[in-house]
C-alpha cells in the first residue's frame, strides 16, 4: 500500500516588505535632497521633512512646505550633491 504525502502550498511573497518605511526614514533622518515626480508629470524638489501612511511633507528650496499624497507620486529620486 502506497502512502500519499500531502502537498503543502508554496509560501507566498509577503504583502509588505516595509522597505518604503526604511527608505523614507533614511531620507528624512539624513536630510537627503530629493525630487518627487507626480502622476501628472509635475516634479517638486526639496527635503522630506515628515511622512506617514498617506502623505509626504516636502520642504522645498524656496522655503515653502508642500504636502503630497502618496497615491499621487509616480517615483522619488535622490539629487546628487554638487
Question: Which sequence spans correspond to the domains of the chain?
Answer: 17-45
Geometric angle at alpha carbon 59, from 70 and 44, rounded to 5°: 60
**Cα–Cα dist 25/27, whole Å:** 5
State residue 1's pLDDT score.
Answer: 62
For 33-82, the pLDDT digits (tens) are: 999 999 999 999 999 999 999 999 999 988 889 999 999 999 999 998 75
Grid coordinates representing 79 are 539629487
**Cα–Cα dist 28/9, whole Å:** 40
Measuring CA to CA, which residue among 43, 23, 48 is closest to residue 33? Answer: 48
Amino acid at each position: 500500500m502506497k502512502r500519499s504525502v500531502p502537498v503543502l502550498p508554496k509560501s507566498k511573497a509577503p504583502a509588505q516588505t516595509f522597505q518604503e518605511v526604511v527608505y523614507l526614514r533614511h531620507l528624512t533622518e539624513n536630510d537627503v535632497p530629493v525630487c518627487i515626480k507626480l502622476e501628472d508629470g509635475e516634479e517638486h524638489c526639496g527635503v522630506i521633512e515628515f511622512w506617514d501612511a498617506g502623505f509626504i511633507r516636502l520642504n522645498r528650496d524656496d522655503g515653502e512646505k508642500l504636502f503630497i499624497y502618496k497615491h499621487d507620486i509616480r517615483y522619488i529620486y535622490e539629487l546628487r550633491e554638487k
